[in-house]
Every structure is written in structure tokens, then in C-alpha cells.
Copies of this chain bind each other. A is one copy, B any other.
Amino acid sequence: MVIAMRPSDLPEVRALDLFKSVGDEQFSTMMQASYLQTFPAQVELISEGDPADFLYIVVEGCVELFARANGRESTMGMVRPVGSFILAAVLKDAVYLMSARTCQRSRLLMIPSQNVREAFERDEAFARSIVVELASCYRSVVKEHKDLKLRSAVERLANRLLRYNADQGGSGRVELPYGKRTIASMLAMTPENLSRAFNTLKPYGVEVDGATVRLTDITSLETLAKPNPLIDDRKT
């Protein structure tokens, strides 16, 4: 059952770096085979180990990528509009390495893997865009991996706060974009430990009030955090 895309959604998707240079023909073929669907919060969209049937695009809302093993679970990343996820699995026609669930009510574009691979074969420009997108994703994970292997928990939190601050205009007033439980998991710590890490940062001008954090001494926090563009910069 194909749910027609609203005309108003198409431009956003078309504007994605990934699709910008795709030929009209391939793009509309892909779109016609696709599903645009709205999901409530906390729906598990895919489960790691499943064959990659669709490429997902987050048009609205937010999706959490996570992984499970043994009894444990860990947040691997968050995808916001307009971003894609599990592109690599789709291209390799392999199983998903990560699971995904909606964090909020979300509108997702689901493009059948087969169509993505066909467009990839037929459309040279699309293939090149995919390279750039993949290279970016790859470098992001490498950065996260470095973050985890080279920094302590407190340092990870400090750098994350500095990043949020920069993202939000650098006013020193940061709104945490996710629940603390989720942030803890992203930073590879327990909620309890995150809470304690915030306390550890208090002497460095970090004041927490619910989901709001005020950074009153950025210099001092940076001295502790030692931010590193080769880990923290989202671009490059």
C-alpha cells in the first residue's frame, strides 16, 4: 500500500544532498515505489539482523538508532529531519547492524532497497552522492569511536555540552535535545553516572536545571574538555 507523498514533502527530500543530483527520472521512480508513513513514538521500525528492505528518510520527527547484545542496549545515534539511515546496509544488500525506533511521532519516507540499488546502478550522479554521504557517515562513526576510546566519561559529557552550546548559538544556555537517559546511553554511561558527571562539572560552570543547562564558565569547561576538531566537529 503506497501512501502518496504530500507534494509539500517532496522538495525537502529532493533537497537532501543525497538526492540533489539524482536525475528526475530515477528520483520519481524511487518516489513512486516509496511509502511515506507516519509512526507514533516508540515504534521499533527495524531490528538489527533483519534484511535491509528499505532505506529510511526522516522527514519529520526523530529516530533513535540503537544496538542490542546480550541483555544490554545502547544508543548509537539519532536521526533528525532531513536525514537518512542504514544506507550502507541497503547498498550492500545486507542485514541491518542497528535497530531503530521513533522517539516522537515521526513521518518517514521508506524507499525499497531494490529501488535504491537500481537507481544507484543507473544514475551515475546518485552513485557519487552516495559516496559523499557514506564517507561522511563513516567519518562520523570514526569520530564517535575515538571519543569513546580516548576520553573519560566526564570529558565526553563536557565536549558534548560544548557541542550542544555551539549548535544552539553559543549563548551558554543549552537545552538538552534528548532525555538524560538517552544522552547517557549515547555517551556510553549509565543514567546514574551521567547525573554524577554533571555534578563533577559543577565547578566548571555547569548548572543543570531539568533539561536546561547553563554554561557559566566556558573557558574553564574547555580547559577540562580539550575539544578536538578531529573528534567533535560535525563537518569535515
A interface residues, Cβ below 8 angstroms from B: 48-49, 67-70, 72-74, 76, 87-89, 91-92, 94-95, 97-98, 120-121, 124, 127-128, 130-132, 134-139, 141-146, 148-151, 155, 188, 226, 228, 230-231, 236
Can you sample 27 A-B contacts with CB below 8 Å? A48-B230, A67-B146, A67-B149, A67-B230, A69-B146, A69-B151, A69-B230, A70-B226, A74-B149, A74-B150, A76-B142, A76-B145, A76-B149, A88-B134, A88-B142, A89-B139, A91-B132, A92-B136, A97-B146, A97-B230, A120-B128, A120-B131, A121-B128, A130-B131, A134-B135, A137-B138, A148-B148
Nearest CB of chain B from residue A91's CB, rounded to whole Å: 5
Assembly CA distance A136 to B131 (angstroms): 12
Query: Contact at B91–A135, with CB atoms within 8 Å?
Result: yes
Known: A124-B124, A132-B91. A69 touches B142 (CB 8 A): no
Known: A70-B226, A120-B131. A145 touches B144 (CB 8 A): yes
Name the B residues within 8 Å of A134 (CB-CB).
88, 131, 134-135, 138
Query: Contact at B226–A69, with CB atoms within 8 Å?
Result: yes
User: Which of B76, B89, B131, B230 lies in contact with A91, CB distance below 8 A?
Assistant: B131
Identical copies of this chain, number = 2
Name the B residues within 8 Å of A88 (CB-CB).
134-135, 138-139, 142
User: Which of B68, B97, B124, B130 lies in contact with A143, CB distance below 8 A?
Assistant: B97
Query: Contact at A135–B69, with CB atoms within 8 Å?
Result: no
Assembly CA distance A134 to B77 (angstroms): 19
Assembly CA distance A151 to B69 (angstroms): 8
Closest to A236 in B: B94
Closest to A227 in B: B69
Nearest CB of chain B from residue A211's CB, rounded to whole Å: 24
Closest to A134 in B: B134
Query: Contact at A98–B236, with CB atoms within 8 Å?
Result: no
Assembly CA distance A150 to B148 (angstroms): 12
Assembly CA distance A48 to B145 (angstroms): 15
Name the B residues within 8 Å of A76 (CB-CB).
142, 145-146, 149
Assembly CA distance A92 to B73 (angstroms): 32
* A-B complex: 6 closest residue pairs judged by Cβ atoms: A69-B150, A88-B135, A138-B138, A74-B149, A134-B134, A141-B141
